[in-house]
Structure 1
């Protein structure tokens, strides 16, 4: 089955796994999905991400994301919202970067430097396509 938006599929899988209290979730492996997982790991929303390779996973492999919860099992994020979609791309300059939850959340962007969080974009002074926001 062809998948038209693998980024939205990854975000939905993470959102559903968090709602169910799952320890980990398997997503499709791609460069952008690995970058999103790395940005979420850098900001402290997930514990780790690793690529499981092999023929049993369909050639490209599977990106296994280990979710992170609070000390009493509470969720670390309440909204994981896709901003830029295949039909309507959203681009932003570094001075216009959103601040989800007044700086407590994080926005993830794909830039010429790579997939970065909004804090990293401000440090490196780059803008790009707004992929999603985490609140």
Structure 2
């Protein structure tokens, strides 16, 4: 697959699935995406997830290990539970903060997802244990 930003790929797939109101989305599995998926499930942003084996995308292309996310929708109109995702730290420009400088997303309505020495944490978790890290993305 070459050098891809696995987190950006995951976020774009979720965004695209939300736009077409798809109930499931397939993402590439590695330790980081699995940790982020578990956090999204624990925080109530997704309904559920399942780790799966190979899936064929096209005749010549397949993903060896993947995670199938079941997205969460609310109301009769099936509005997506995830309104938006915004990538903050990128491979070309990493964004690190200490615990006092972790930003509030939309005045506390949204969540900042951080990679720290204690694993993948939300902004609230990081502040509660007094630890900073790399701000991966915002979700609301």
CA RMSD between the two structures = 1.6
Aligned length: 134
Q: 1:50 deviation in Å?
A: 2.0
Q: TM-score w.r.t. structure 1 length?
A: 0.91
> Partner residue of 2:6?
6
Answer whether contact 2:51 2:68 (CA < 8 A) is retained. yes
Q: Separation in 2 of the partners of 1:58 and 1:43? A: 27
> Partner residue of 1:126?
131
Q: 1:63 deviation in Å?
A: 1.1
> Partner residue of 2:68?
64
Mapping of 1:95-114 within 5 angstroms? 95-114=100-119
Q: If each structure's helix is expressed as a fraction of its own residues, which one has the higher value?
A: 1
Q: 1:71 deviation in Å?
A: 2.5
Q: Separation in 1 of the partners of 2:38 and 2:55? A: 24
Q: Separation in 2 of the partners of 1:5 and 1:54? A: 20
Q: 1:77 deviation in Å?
A: 2.5
Answer whether contact 2:28 2:63 (CA < 8 A) is retained. no
Structure 1 stretches (4+) deviating beyond 3 angstroms? 54-59
**Aligned partner of residue 73 in structure 2, secondary structure:** coil
Extract unaligned runs of 5+ from structure 2.
57-61
Q: TM-score w.r.t. structure 2 length?
A: 0.88
Q: Separation in 1 of the partners of 2:125 and 2:41? A: 13
Extract unaligned runs of 5+ from structure 1.
none
Q: If each structure's strand is expressed as a fraction of its own residues, which one has the higher value?
A: 2
Q: Separation in 2 of the partners of 1:18 and 1:69? A: 9
**Aligned partner of residue 51 in structure 1, secondary structure:** strand
